């Protein structure tokens, strides 16, 4: 088993698989990070407090990690995903299944990660794993449920069996685009939820934001071919609630800091890990226009992040929108 990406999520999933008795080869981008992991047997930079068992080996050389791997788990930030996959695609076994556990949309192409892989290596066997799953809680063995989707249900079932444990429950789906869009889209709503928390608004505000945020996510996802039922499941609503309310949410943290008056540059310079929602907001701003989908919450988050709009003014803009009917049927 090869895990590409030694951040918090990649490390947590490597631990989960290793505890099942699998031999896991973990790839880290930087050689100095590899040396730290080997010396300390702990990912102190991204997931401190968990010892790496001996059946996890670490390398910065893809040629040492990929040969013989029947399943490859990609846990690379969206902005570097194409580059890393482009380097490893020639090393993949013909029948290897590549599972994306990254939550993002590529800025320039507006593609999801499985779409990126299929463009780079057409006809491969690809799947996506997503759902409400903070890395630290997974590493600690806290009960968690996620969804794995693949166009071929047999591939999804294979990945389900691979990851399933007593505390990590995995459901299957064939709605690849729906499961894959839920993750990046909810990150934008989580930034908005954090802004409201940072401004001192209460739980009424948060509940309204989550609900209307889900409506926006579903509109775009359905327009792109997803099932609306997927967006009410673990990869949609489940992940949205977690990221908008959980203290471990990096995207919510960004929003809280924005609401308290910090600039996005200051916030990102102070963070060790990537908050995918910041880059995803730009991607989705363009994607919504391309697909002609109305996304007012996303629009305001974009204006705050990239146009310098004040957070309280953004909230007021949303509150002053024209009155509308709540339930509108989603159509593709």
Quick one: CA torsion of 86, 152, 149, 120, rounded to 10 degrees?
10
Q: 3-state DSSP call for residue 22?
A: coil
Q: Which residue in the list 25, 103, 186, 279 is annotated as catalytic?
A: 186
Report the C-alpha gap between 43 and 169 in whole angstroms: 25
Residues forming a β-bridge with 166: none
Nearest to 26, CA basis, from 74, 83, 85 = 74
In the sheet that 144-149 helps form, which strands lie side by side, from edge to edge?
Answer: 56-59, 24-27, 2-4, 71-74, 97-100, 125-130, 144-149, 168-173
**Residue 143: CB atoms within 10 Å:** 10
Nearest to 277, CA basis, from 127, 78, 12, 136 = 78
As a whole number of angstroms, the longest Cα–Cα distance in the chain is 60
Joined tokens for residue 85: 């996959």
Crossing angle between the packed helical segments 311-319 and 296-307, to the nearest 10 degrees: 160
Is-catalytic flag, 324?
A: no
Q: Residue with structure tokens 């463009």?
A: 119
Give the residue numbers marked as catalytic: 186
């Amino acid at each position: 088993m090869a895990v590409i990406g030694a951040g918090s999520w990649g490390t947590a999933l490597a631990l989960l698989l290793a505890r099942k008795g699998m031999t896991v080869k973990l790839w880290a981008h930087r050689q100095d990070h590899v040396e730290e992991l080997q010396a300390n047997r702990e990912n102190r930079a991204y997931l401190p407090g968990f010892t790496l068992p001996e059946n996890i080996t670490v390398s910065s050389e893809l040629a040492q990690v990929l040969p013989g791997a029947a399943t490859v788990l990609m846990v690379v930030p969206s902005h570097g995903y194409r580059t890393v996959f482009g380097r490893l695609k020639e090393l993949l076994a013909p029948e290897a299944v590549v599972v994306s556990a990254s939550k993002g949309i590529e800025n320039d192409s507006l593609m999801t990660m499985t779409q990126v892989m299929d463009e780079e290596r057409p006809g491969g066997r690809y799947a996506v794993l997503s759902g409400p799953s903070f890395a630290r809680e997974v590493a600690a063995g806290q009960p968690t449920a996620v969804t794995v989707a693949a166009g071929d249900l047999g591939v999804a079932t294979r990945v389900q069996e691979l990851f399933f444990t007593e505390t990590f429950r995995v459901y299957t789906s064939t709605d690849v685009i729906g499961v894959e869009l839920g993750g990046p889209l909810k990150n934008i709503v989580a930034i908005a939820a954090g802004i409201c928390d940072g401004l001192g608004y209460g739980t009424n505000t948060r509940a309204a934001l989550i609900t209307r945020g889900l409506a926006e996510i579903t509109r775009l996802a359905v327009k792109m071919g997803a099932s609306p039922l997927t967006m009410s499941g673990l990869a949609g609503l489940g992940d949205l609630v977690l990221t908008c309310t959980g203290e471990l949410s990096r995207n919510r943290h960004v929003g809280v800091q924005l609401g308290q008056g910090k600039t996005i540059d200051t916030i990102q310079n102070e963070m060790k890990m990537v908050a995918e929602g910041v880059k995803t907001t730009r991607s989705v701003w363009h994607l919504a226009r391309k697909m002609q989908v109305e996304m007012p919450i996303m629009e305001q988050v974009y204006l705050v992040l990239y146009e310098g709009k004040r957070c309280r003014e953004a909230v007021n803009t949303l509150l002053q929108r024209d009155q509308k009917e709540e339930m509108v049927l989603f159509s593709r």
